[in-house]
Amino acid sequence: MALALYRKYRPQTFAEVVGQEHVTEPLINAIRAGRLNHAYLFSGPRGCGKTSSARILARSLNCAQGPTPEPCGECNSCRALAADGHGSVDVIEIDAASHGGVDDARELRERAVFAPVDSRYKIYIIDEAHMVTAAGFNALLKLVEEPPDYVLFIFATTEPDKVLPTIRSRTHHYPFRLIAPPKMRELCQRLCEEEGANVADDVFPLVVRSGGGSARDTLSVLDQLIAGSGDAGVTYERAAALLGVTDAGLLDEMCEAFAAADGAAVMEVVERVAEGGLDPRRYAGDLLERLRDLIILNQVPDAGSSGLIDAPADQLSKMTSQATRMGTSTLTRMAEVVAAGLAGMRGATAPRLLLELACVRAILPGSDESMAGLLQRLETLEQRGVSAMSAPARPAAAAPAPAPVRAAEPPAVTRPAAPAAETSAAQPVSAPEPASETATAPEAAGPQPESANETPSAAAAPAADDGWDTATATEPAAPEPAPAPTPAPEPVGAGGGANAASIRRQWDRIMMAVKDRKRTTAALLSDATVADATDKEVVLVFKHAFHAENLQKEPAYGIVVEVFNEVLGGSWKIRCEVGEAANLPKAGPPPTTGAPSSRGAVADRRPDVAVPAARQAAEHFEEPPPADYDEPSPDDPVAPGGFGTSEEQAVKMLSSAFGAKQIR
């Protein structure tokens, strides 16, 4: 009969102990320095190396070449205390679970006074020391406090708090810990190579998770899988079925349903769990652990390489996509809901019903009035682009540049015909009008009519054609209503409908994901505008052909397609075109529009355009500006008339232009 793996590969030296360097290094230093204590207390979870370390310490102290931290393994004491040895009469192991009474303690005290037979020390290893009764500890108290020079006690326990404080205070306490998953996986792989066993790579995470950080439990599970494997070795399907763990496919399907908030898909996965004969409690536990991994991936993108998550590469890619689509608040609340459901399944008569309720509650944040539910709803709105207010608002259509105003202009003003949309508001002019003060002065100085023959609508017509990007609002001089604003033309090329609009709302997330992968690709994509999206194909319009050509090359094209598939879901294609993108809707929320007030609209006029217009009027009337006229600066307050200067300066300038003494 072959030995079990945990017995066959039991560590024989402190260097072979895995994951307990915080204990083995101080013991090695103490042995080398000769500063040994008469009693030690080794505590920690089961199967983490307490008893093995006690035997190694006994071998190191009784070695013929010792005391030494590296036993020779050739002397009688080392061979007797080896994994396949017969034991030593001077190293006594006592199971306190069956020998913890006061009579056993008295018998040990009577035998301890005798010297060792053929070793340097007589060592008592008391396993499960917390099972010793209070009377038994009291009987051993005097011996443990002042033993003979050749007697040494090593207590090993999983519950050090149950050890009598008077005993614990007389020992050197070394707490053992659970072994980390990366170190445990390395140990399993090394033992499989020595045994010549063929084990799939995706089986090791299942074995390590089943062992729970205990070396003995993990090696026992691995030994069971190797013993039951066939010619193909240990496969993932065989290991998952034998260990009773949840298939990763069911966890992926549930996470995809969570990300899409699809209640039908959630209930279908629960039905498959029940049909497969899986325990709902076990599935809920595995689902909670998967949500934990997604939260870590959302916070630490390189968690797979850093050892925080132990999963194959293809599984990590799926989990990264799921974590990207679900934010931290959503994942946190879902984990809390599943954890509460798992706690309620203990002792429940209908665990499947509780699993269904927990999964449905996880995708319905509206039913949760707590802060976690509110944060999940806010995060969902942000991901949809409703609350993406951080993106700068850009106009839908670029305004044409204002026409330059020349100083010397003939005193005739030609008014072009009004467009078709404004025929009801302004009268068309088919022939040039003769120059007059009533026609030229308001056109140069502002939209305020100075003649009774000119209506407000006629005075506003030249202002609408002067190329400025804002309309001039004036107070009407007559009860006639102001003309209605001309509706803006429809954007050119925005044929994407709802699909294109949804992509524009997700543009900030797309740009951020591309920037995380490669900054140069993000720089190329920043020049693009979403023009259309039909049949899983996105049409991007670029202003520069250089950007479009380079984005269609690898690896830029592959990065953009990968990000689109990850953020939007599905399989997308990218088509790049070169054209004028100024009239296309930009990504992000639309700019806020509204009717300008009579003061605000005029205040938007630029001083560098209004002031030359006033100079033109002054030169037309061949009157120089007054001597006390000051050149306005861009920092001067904007006058109500739209000259970009103060009211007093505007009055002086108009008085000089029209020859009046005072104009108000």
Residues 16 and 163 placed together within one structural domain of the fold: yes
* Distance between CA atoms of residues 613 and 86, nearest Å: 111
Mean pLDDT (the chain, rounded): 74
Does residue 378 sit in the same domain as residue 291? yes
Specify whether the CB–CB gap between 222 and 188 falls below 8 A: yes
209 and 296 share one domain: no
Q: For residue 76, tell me if it sits in a domain.
A: yes
- Which residue, 206, 163, 158, is CA-closest to 181? 206
For residues 535 and 495, what is the distance between their CA atoms, to the nearest angstrom?
Answer: 13
Tokens of 42: 């080794």
N-to-C CA span, the chain:
115
Pair 258, 330 in one domain = yes
Distance set, CA 238 to CA 47, 173, 215 (Å): 25, 42, 22
What pLDDT score does 423 carry?
38
> Residues of the chain with pLDDT > 90: what percent?
22
pLDDT at 175: 94
* 103-155 tens-digit pLDDT: 988 988 888 888 888 889 999 999 999 999 999 898 989 899 899 989 999 99
Q: What is the CATH number of the domain that holds 341?
A: 1.20.272.10
Residue 548: per-residue pLDDT: 87
Instruction: Identify whether 605 is part of a domain.
Output: yes
Q: What is the mean pLDDT of residues 535-558?
A: 86
**C-alpha closest to that of 24 among 64, 59, 69, 81:** 69
Buried/exposed code over 149-184 (b: 16+ C-beta within 10 A; e: otherwise): eebbbbbbbbebeebbeebbebbeebebebbebeeb
Does a structural domain hold residue 460? no
Helical (H) or strand (E) element with 60: helix 50-62
Cβ proximity of 122 and 152 under 8 Å? yes
Q: Report helix, strand or coil for 530.
A: strand
Q: Are residues 22 and 139 in the same domain?
A: yes
CATH of the domain at 204: 1.10.8.60
pLDDT tens per residue, range 593-652: 443 443 333 334 344 444 444 444 444 444 455 555 455 554 544 444 444 445 555 556
Q: How many residues does the chain have?
A: 664
Residue at 485 is within a domain: no
| Co-location of 22 and 97 in the same domain | yes
271 residue type, one letter = E
Structural domain including 633 reads 600-658
Determine the pLDDT at residue 485: 46
User: pLDDT value at position 372?
Assistant: 65
Please indicate, yes or no, if residue 71 is contained in any of the structural domains.
yes
SS (H, E, C) 396-426: CCCCCCCCCCCCCCCCCECCCCCCHHHCCCC
**Same domain assignment for residues 111 and 81:** yes
Given a cut of 60, whether residue 9 has pLDDT beyond it is yes
Q: What does the pLDDT read at residue 374?
A: 66
Residue 664 lies in a domain: no
User: Residue 650: its pLDDT value, please?
Assistant: 53
In the listed set 338, 368, 384, which residue is the last one of a domain according to the structure? 384
Q: How far apart are CA 657 and CA 621, in angstroms?
A: 6
Give the residue from 175, 195, 216 where a domain finishes. Answer: 175
According to the model, what pLDDT value does residue 385 have? 60
Residue 81 in domain: yes
pLDDT tens-digit series, residues 318-353: 888 888 888 888 899 899 999 999 999 888 888 999
Query: Could you tell me if 259 and 226 lie in one domain?
Result: no
- Whose structure tokens read 């045994």? 195
Phi-psi region of 497 (alpha: psi -120 to 50; beta: other; left: phi over 0): left
What total number of domains does the chain contain?
5
Q: Indicate whether 99 and 24 sit together in one domain.
A: yes
What local confidence, expressed as pLDDT, does residue 367 receive? 54
Please, are residues 327 and 258 in contact by the beta-carbon 8 Å criterion? no
In a domain, 416, yes or no: no
Record the pTM.
0.53
Question: Do strands 537-542 and 528-534 pair parallel, antiparallel, or not at all (unpaired)?
Answer: antiparallel
Name, in order, each residue with C-beta under 8 angstroms of 471's C-beta and a sequence gap of 6 or more.
463, 464, 485, 596, 601
- Which of 94, 92, 95, 134 has the alpha carbon at shortest distance from 114? 92
3-state DSSP of 62-90: HCCCCCCCCCCCCCHHHHHCCCCCCCCCC
Above 70 in pLDDT, residue 585? no
Domain end among 350, 384, 418: 384
- CATH number (domain holding residue 508): 3.30.300.180
Q: Is 529 left (phi over 0), alpha (psi -120 to 50) or beta?
A: beta
pLDDT above 60: residue 558: yes
| Pair 67, 155 in one domain | yes
**194 and 120 together in one domain:** no
- Give yes or no for a contact between 583 and 492, defined as CB atoms under 8 angstroms apart: yes
Same domain, 131 and 236: no
Query: Can you give the pLDDT at residue 324?
Result: 85
